[in-house]
Structure 1
């Protein structure tokens, strides 16, 4: 039994997944961050940790295994107990337990459990499609220093010719202000007259248009026959996500490709990050959706995941 696969599925939706008599994997949401030394931007994510003190079974893992494998709850619980017994024996022998896409567990010299999380998957579904990126450094201080150097090398001086030019500009500005004040009153008069004329013309045009509409009569001699289309609408709040794309044209291409493969692919809109989401299909039954998800991961896309959302 691949226990880590079931745990990984549950970490997308729950903050705590307990392995009875062994410990619990915990998730905590952290905001987007920036590393100033490398200019690297990281999206929001879930940080994984392990607590060996939480060992009491809450039934979550056993119920999930029972639903997926179509077996009774007691049988699923027995499978977990056998797996835990084997994991503990590996630890006492000094081996490191590798939980795929989750992390590694080992014992230190004092016999305490050490957990090293894996960073291959981001279990925060809101950040699906987002990845870290490095931004080029902006050297503002360098440009400032270069400007200061240029000012020192090329000083700004005022010659007698420039002083005369400034006097001419001063007199021209005074004359322009006088002309502007004199024509301000006349300008307001003409503007008011134009506005009155435009308003009267607009009212006449609206009246003529209304009269023509009232006089018009529409008669259809040969009406088109009524056509009834039977469209199958996908319903359900369980959606298997195929991908999220920043460019809408890319999502349209993926939908056509998936439909050619026999999937009921469709577009379900944008998420809060502005990415266009495409689904393989939508389901009303959670168990049916999980079975379809496992099949898609095995046969077509290992990165597909389940979104629970009312559309």
Structure 2
């Protein structure tokens, strides 16, 4: 910043509002809030990259400005900038700023609007209040330099419909019927062969061995059903065991899903209202003290994970509750005109 203001040093001073514009623009490089005593405060906001569906254009991120005419308290940031640029005293710097602000207000009274180059346009409405229209291209931001918009048309996905090939139903059924016929005839032949063997033993065995023949006959006829019954019982037991295991697996799966759901719902978020961000410690303390004296006791200073300082207000359980509170606060005080809702994760 010393380098940027070096061109102002040791030059005769003339009451020129363009000088005030340059000071504001340069201070906004490293600050999100610059207060002009007697005029109002300029607050920077970050706008994320976005997609314009109307013309298929991706727009880069930028920093834009808001204006609050109620922020007229001197925080010494702009005065210190004048002191460093012109090597003058504090009262002299404050006097120059007041003269430039008076020139702006005089121009607004006659022309109803005044343009601050690369910052925006100030207008005086019918009620005599100041309105601000920020520069459409955003304010100067070095870390966003070089990012430009580009066009990309949406991709059209072509859907291929599969063509079904007709099949001959009679031809498809023939192999199945043939297979069943072969199996049944094989089964009948096997039964017939078994019956022939049993009849041979019954006829060819002597009478003296009638008991053993009868036992053999009984064993031959009993063996097949016993094997069949055992197989059926084993199959039923297997089915019952499979069903039991499946039920246990289902219970375990449901229990695991319930645990995951409980863990996911256990994490909570809170919401607050942001008045300013990326402010200096000194400016934040002065602003918080002023709001506290006016009755806003819930205002405080928080630090993000990236060490960004923010002035926030309140602590709400839901985004809807925070938004309703913000609307109510905007009706009560102009301090909350440019504020927004921020989610804070635990």
Coarse TM-score class (shorter-chain normalised): 0.3 to 0.5
TM-score between both structures, scaled by the size of structure 2: 0.41
Rg bigger for which structure? 2
When you count helix as a share of all residues, which structure comes out higher?
2
Q: Determine which structure has greater relative contact order: mean sequence separation of CA pairs < 8 Å that are 6+ residues apart, divided by chain length.
A: 2
TM-score between both structures, scaled by the size of structure 1: 0.45
